[in-house]
Amino acid sequence: MERLAEWRRVAWAYPTAADALLAALLFAVSLLPVNPPGGPPRDPLTAGAVLLAFVGCAALAVRRRYPLPVLGLTLAAVVLALLTHQVRGPFVITVAIAAYTVATRTDRRTAFLATAASALLLGAAATLTLDVPWLDPAVVVLLLWFGVAVAVGDAVRSRRAYVAVLEDRACRAEQTREEETHAPTEPAPSLNRLDALMEGFSTGQPVRWTVAGQPRPLPSAVDVAAYRIIQESLTNAHKHAPGAAVAVRLRYDPEGVTIEVRDEGAPAAARGVGAGPGLVGMRERAETVGGVFSAGPRPGGGWLVRAELPAPEEEAE
């Protein structure tokens, strides 16, 4: 159990690497000579089959950033493989994983339309390949796995939205209490307080920060998440790279806000930095508001934290 928990922490800290590893594993297993249950024996392994498996599996490496295109690509690869009797091993799982990702990272209406159309195409391909009706057990099981993946993804998305609402309410309640008291209290976390935050960390450690784009009000949950991610990144830099120069860049654009925190400290191995609670907490904050988070060593040394938090202009409060 401890080893499994450690793998989960690593996957949280390095999502792209984890997805790439998953894609490579599925690709390798998809080439194994295992016939699908209830289906006719497949043709021998061909270059076309290898290419389809490679395209469908490799797309999963970027599933979090491009969920809908990845679903379309994996679906096309699996449908072609089904129609040519070249589905090998767990290759069809790639579509379920892509559908799960769409359900977690898009709104419910978009996810329903995209996954429903995908299920129809997948089921039609299966019935043509196996020459069976839609209610054949093999087709039903295939679509059932697909549906379970979408249902789990929707549950995850709903939980994240619920947590975001709770955080937003807590932030608003904190601000309301602060307004009602006319007494000196700790200001609520906000990007409006970045100058004070930078000043506090610049003692004994050079901190430089820049803002690109036009600053604007953000939804409370996004504002708090952005501030906390910068605060935690500076705390980690102060702890693991004391005295090293730190650069903070905040960029506003019509779709949201992007955060980058770089330091010139020692390599990750020397710093002992891994998937610690700080990184996990920052990733959870980013993903709670629908954002993308990454952290890791820089090629030339030091550490880079990057977060992209969605906040379309028309939704800003």
Collapsed DSSP state (helix, strand, coil) of residue 54: helix
Q: If you classify domain 191-315 with CATH, what class do you get?
A: alpha beta
- What does the pLDDT read at residue 91? 82
- What does the pLDDT read at residue 275? 45
- What does the pLDDT read at residue 73? 94
- What does the pLDDT read at residue 272? 46
Chunked mean pLDDT (size 10), the chain, 317 residues: 61 77 86 57 73 91 92 93 78 90 89 90 88 85 87 87 75 66 66 87 84 91 93 90 90 94 70 61 91 89 92 66
- What does the pLDDT read at residue 274? 46
Q: How far apart are CA 234 and CA 238, in angstroms?
A: 6
Q: How far apart are CA 57 and CA 41, in angstroms?
A: 22
The answer to whether the Cα torsion of 149, 155, 156, 157 is positive or negative is positive
Q: Which of 280, 198, 194, 208 is nearest to 244 (CA)?
A: 208
- What does the pLDDT read at residue 316? 46
Are the C-beta atoms of residues 233 and 296 closer than 8 Å to each other? no
pTM for this model (two decimals): 0.55
- What does the pLDDT read at residue 105? 87
The answer to whether the Cα torsion of 23, 20, 231, 255 is positive or negative is negative
Q: How far apart are CA 170 and CA 188, in angstroms?
A: 11
- What does the pLDDT read at residue 273? 46
Are the C-beta atoms of residues 55 and 73 closer than 8 Å to each other? yes
Q: How far apart are CA 212 and CA 253, in angstroms?
A: 9
Per-domain boundaries in the chain:
2-161, 191-315
